[in-house]
Amino acid sequence: MQRQILKNRNKIALISGILIAIAFLSKWTMGNMHIFEWALIIASILGAAPIAIQAYQALRVKVVSIDVLVTIAVFGAFLIGNFEESAIVTFLFLFGAYLEQRTLNKTRSAIKELTEMAPETALKLMENGEFEEVDVDEVDVGDVLLVKTGAKVPVDGTVLSGEGSVNEASITGESIPVAKEKGSNVYAGTILDNGTIQIVADRVGEDTTFGKIIELVEEAQDSKSEAERFIDRFAKYYTPAVLVLSFIVWLISRNVELAITILVLGCPGALVIGVPVSNVAGIGNGARHGVLLKGSEVIGDFSRLNTMVFDKTGTLTMGNPSVAETEYYGDNIEEALGYLASIERESDHPLAKAVLEKIGETTFSPVENTEVIKGEGIVAAVNGHRVAVGNVALMEREQVELDEKARADIARFEKNGNSLVLTAVDGQLKILMGVSDQIRPGVKEDLQRLKKLGVRNLIMLSGDNQGTVDAVSRALGLTEAHGNMLPEDKAAYIKKLIEEEGRIVAFVGDGVNDSPSLASAHIGIAMGSGTDVAIETSDVVLMNSDFGRLPHALGLAKATARNMKQNIFIAVGVVLVLLTSLIFSDWMNMSIGMLVHEGSILAVILNGMRLLRYRLPRRYA
């Protein structure tokens, strides 16, 4: 019975509204007070039923909710024969709840749209060589799938054959088609605008980029910030306080109607809902624009940050370095190049690919006893020779002698902004390579936008040599830049900024080695195409590694924090105005109070919904 009443409360609100209209029409047109009273009595009883049930359910778990206050107020009005007030209050409360739910559903539209975009079926290559349509849950890693024009890509995968243009708006927020060919990566939930491609599944189900987006946004929208937790605690004690105040007023004045009116006017509805609706709308906007904000707690810290620290490779730079300069020393260089290629072939370091491309075709040898020296390089045995590949620190560790020419070359390479790859065979320097990485297009302009948004300190920390770091820093106009830093050095530096200098710090990175720094900062920001560890450790994810999303993310966080404060001001202000009007004026009554109360709830919801349309203002462009 209770479930049926709650399920049909919108219909009950409609019937109650019709009965109230009939009551007043009969009074004004026919002067029939009998119909007037009975219509209001029935409307009061009908309207009070779902509110009383919700109040009962709240009291069962020892919570004095808004429904409890309204139920007591309506019951009191009914007892003193004020049927007009009791009917109107119940109708306004139910109608307000209906409008509140409708507008709240709109603020959650971003996650709903994401869920609806999730692919449901896939064309899978079967054992008979034919492609058959199967449920997407039946696709496993390694399966070959066919994607036709206009179809959704069902999983994260790699193109095996064919060409086409893919709309990646569901991942990046950008609707401009991206060309795909053999070897290109594609993502679940994106749409093949034209062409036909075959892909091999790399990630399926919840492990896909799209699946993680939905999961992260759902978790973020369900999480609560410190402000929300405070308001929940406040409402928990505030609501009983209103009940006590009403009782005290009745004891002093013996005015039941005044006491009941205080119950209605003191309802903290707008206060309770104002902060969550701002956070939900802000997170929804971010999801639409390729920015994942992992919870409302993140928004508070993010909006106040004054220092942003960046990793270099893959964050400020493209992460696709190439060898720009080379120097050789001594004899047997071809042999040394083969040893170098053999070691780099087994490495996943960003510089390894560049070195291999530079060497080209060569003779590979077995690599044994590989030892990775964190932050310095690799030492291994190749064809019975001890080969060291890494930076100057590794050469010093291996006691490799660097003569004047080598040191001059190293200084020149660093001055030109190169990362250094030195190769020594049996303690003798053989090869020096200078590898350079291109700065991401538009990064300098994005950094200027961050400054306009209030980020006073832009700092780069890198494991690269200081010369390269300084060259990138000069080009981008950074506040500080520090090179030759190990992962633990970066984390320690961030800890120092926070604990000793009192700064609110965000760290932006993309690699496994960035995870300690992402975790140490107030806000960890991961590039979306970075490692899973970095993305899991972070608080904010920039999908598709689009650095240009960062100013939007920061501007959105600031707008959301402002919106939250506005909603608190509206909610508290309305309650104060209503109570003041009740004490110092004659026009305030229970019906008007409930109307204004429900209006304040709608006001904070509509104010929060403005965030769904947020875009970075032109003054920051």
Measured CA to CA, the distance from residue 605 to residue 23 in angstroms comes to 32
CA distances to 125, 131, 224, 608 from 128, rounded to whole Å, are 8, 9, 52, 55
Q: Is 19:40 a contact under the CB 8 Å cutoff?
A: yes
The answer to whether residue 311 is catalytic is: yes
With CA atoms as reference, report the closest residue to 603 among 572, 582, 576, 580: 572
Report which secondary-structure segment, H or E, holds 188.
none
172 phi and psi angles, rounded to 5 deg: -105, -15
Three-state DSSP state, 156: strand
Residue 127 amino acid letter: E
Residue 439 and residue 314: Cα distance in Å, rounded?
9
* Location of structure tokens 């309204």: 70
Strand partners, 429: 424
Annotated active-site residue in 143, 311, 464, 546 = 311
Pairwise CA distance, residues 340 & 379, whole Å: 11
CA dist 383 and 351 (Å) reads 23
Closest CA to 73 of 272, 256, 298: 256
Q: How is the beta sheet containing 428-436 ordered, strand by strand? A: 322-328, 428-436, 419-425, 385-390, 377-382, 367-373
Distance CA 13, CA 31 (A): 25
**Which DSSP string corresponds to 566-597?**
HHHHHHHHHHHHHHHHHHH-SS--HHHHHHHH
- C-alpha closest to that of 329 among 270, 224, 380, 404: 404
Longest dimension (CA), the chain: 115
CA distance 262 to 498: 47
The token pair that represents 371 in the structure block? 């030892």
Pairing relationship of beta strands 191-203 and 144-147 according to DSSP bridges: antiparallel
How open is the CA angle 407-402-394, to the nearest 5 degrees?
100
Here the tokens at position 441 are 């297009």
Question: So which residues are the catalytic ones?
Answer: 311
